[in-house]
Amino acid sequence: RRPPQPPGDDLFAALVEDRMEEGRPLAARMRPRTLDEVVGQPRLLGPDGFLRRAIAEDRVPSMVLYGPPGTGKTTLARLVASSTRSVFEELSAVSAGLADVRAVMQRARDRLAAGTRTVLFLDEIHRFNRAQQDALLPAVEDGLVTLIGATTENPYYEVNAALVSRMRILVLEPLTDADVGGLVDRAVADPRGLAGRVRVAPDARGSLVARAGGDARYALNLLEAAAAGVPDGGGVGQDDVRHAAGGGRAVVYDREGDAHYDTISAFIKSMRASDPDAAVYYLAVMLQGGEDPKFIARRLIVQAAEDVGNADPRALEVAVAAARAVEFVGMPEARIPLAQATVYLALAPKSNAAYRAIGAAMDLVEREGARRPPLALRDASRPNARHLGHGAGYRYPHDHPDAVLPGSLLPEGLEGTRLYEATDRGLEARLWERLAELRRRAAAREADDRGGV
């Protein structure tokens, strides 16, 4: 509690607070003060939402708020503290150390002795190392603090399993266009924001919403920057938004985090599903986000063999050529051969027959061990190998009709095992026909042999 201050000091403090408020960014001034002012997250904050009910019943557990930037993680943490009569402490894992954590825990003990609880908000919780995360365990387990961690990375991968098991994982979704549009309208009309200062034209509003990509903070920061060049009472137009955005919307992309894995997954699955538009889009997201083009090229090579395969053997040549082109020319020109290969693979006929064949073969070897080849197929060139029977009975395929040997060449006990099953798609249809013909001939020979016995 502050000691009594002379009236002049109170007036000065209020003046300082007003000046600080005026200098705060628009996004900070418009931060929701109540749950009802929060937009989005209906699953958590709707009438039956988990977090709304937990706050109303004053039984908020320790939790991790997991979601992209600008979805309200810090806001929700502050509202939890203010709505549950708790003291709010905030640390950033980027700059805080063990000493800071221990200091918070000591203050929390002192408060709890006086009957007041503490909410510790830890931003970027995934950046705490294992020792720092372990230091939080006793306080969370004993209820000394209500820990609210915020992260843009998957907590199941980035946060200690022991800590995660003691916390609720709440997933925050990007805001919808309607949510972001409502925030822009509120900022223009609210006295805390730009009320009476500017108007926003419909096309400019649409541009703000589109560029935000579900990020409330970015939308409000961009609105503030666009309004800065407009005279009082003027209108913010689409050109103002474009100039304020500079190079356009920055791509949120972490080459070591969820964005990397989620985007490459979407890229691969779009090519597999023969959707070139989606595939090229995800390619652009990766390139704009700074992904290593060599990594993308390697994925294209794997994709060509795994999902196109022998339905179009040229797909592998195209992918390898694109990878070589990336090495020769580098970025930004490398985007062109990467796009060419992406479109080719997306539109190529698909077959995963070779992929399934090697998978089945490796499963068989793992399950039963590696059996030795038949004696006829073993190497007979080494000294004394022939004395061991190596090569005995070997049949030279070119001495037989169509250079095809009857019977199976698999190890003993595996004769007749089917590992490769061709599809009838693309060029693999020819292999499918040939495989069917070879099997028909093999069956006929076996029938003849049985009839001659």
pLDDT tens for each residue of 429-446: 888 888 888 878 777 766
pLDDT exceeds 60 at position 393: yes
415 vs 362 pLDDT, higher one: 362
Single-letter amino acid, residue 360: A
pLDDT, tens digit (0-9, with 9 covering 90-100), for 236-247? 998 898 888 875
Using a pLDDT cut of 70, give the percent of the chain over it. Answer: 90
Q: 377 or 452: which carries more pLDDT confidence?
A: 377
Q: What are phi and psi of 30, to 5 degrees?
A: -95, 10
Q: On the CB side of 35, how many CA atoms lie within 13 Å of its CA?
A: 20
pLDDT confidence tier of residue 257, bands split at 50, 70 and 90: low
Predicted model pTM: 0.62
- Structural tokens at position 416: 């007749």
State the chain's mean pLDDT as an integer.
85
CA dihedral of 131, 134, 139, 140, whole degrees rounded to 10: 140
Q: Binning pLDDT at 50, 70 and 90, where does residue 255 land?
A: low
Q: Supply the pLDDT for residue 17.
A: 53
> In Å, how far are 139, 300, 339, 446 from 452, measured between CA atoms?
83, 53, 60, 10
SS3 of residue 237 by DSSP: coil
Extract the tokens encoding 419: 């590992």
Residue at 423: amino acid letter? T
Tell me the longest C-alpha to C-alpha distance in the chain: 118
* pLDDT score of 258: 66
